[in-house]
Amino acid sequence: MAKVIDYFFGIGSPWAFIGLDAFSEMASRHGAVIRPHVISLIEDNGGIYSRNRPEARRAYWTKDLKRWAVLRGKTLNFENRAALSDPTPAGFMVIAAIEDGLDWLGLTRALQTAFWTDAADIGRSEVRQAIANSVGIDGTKLEECAQAEATQSIWRSNIESAKNTGVFGLPTFRYEDELYWGQDSLPFLERHLNGEKIAV
């Protein structure tokens, strides 16, 4: 029986961006199936957006992101980000790709790289469509699906399911009903995949 990992993430999460490749490579090594759930932070469960944190914590958050980015071989661009629009619609596009059986992982990687490395405004429809086209997906068609009520309904359902599961931050991984929050928890997830779950 295949191992299945529920993956709760968002395109606008820098931590999800930093950990994406390490996670997907781990899942591949273990022959695990990734079951993706595009969501937002779950504030009702204690998720806190960086803009709502005290300055000292935001400063440390930025430094820690840069450290992890170096370790993961990622480039983060923090310049001129205030002008970028909400990346949430890019998540709708990924949901549409998931539903259509398309390469959602490749699309996610491309959208996150555009947003976090290139500071591209993926909140704009034409930018998202061009990125989808660049990974071999019909951007116009996918954008239409992304804006459909069915996709919006999945987004809301994903958030409600995550909330009921106890998820609060991104990314979060669930394997055999055990939650692992943050890309820095991947070593614990891998131990669990190896049958060496740490009992707590």
pTM over 0.85: yes
185 is catalytic: no
Nearest Cα residue to 50 out of 22, 102, 15: 15
| Catalytic site residue from 13, 134, 153, 185 | 13
> Within its chain, how far is the Cα of 152 from the centroid?
17
Tokens 């395109």: give the residue.
Answer: 11
Question: Which pLDDT value is given to residue 71?
Answer: 97
Half-sphere exposure of 103 (CA within 13 A, CB side): 14
Task: Measure Cα distances from 185 to 19, 72, 126, 131, 193 in Å.
Answer: 10, 14, 35, 30, 13
Q: What is the pLDDT along the chain (200 residues), one digit of tens a residue?
A: 789 999 999 999 999 999 999 999 999 999 999 999 999 999 999 999 888 899 999 999 999 999 999 999 999 998 888 789 999 999 999 999 999 999 999 999 999 999 999 999 999 999 999 999 999 999 999 999 999 999 999 999 999 999 999 999 999 999 999 999 999 999 999 999 999 988 77
Confirm if 144 and 155 have CB atoms less than 8 A apart. Answer: no
Domains of the chain: 4-194 (3.40.30.10)
Residues with Cβ < 8 Å from 86, sequence gap 6 or more?
A: 12, 123
pLDDT tens-place string over residues 151-169: 999 999 999 999 999 999 9
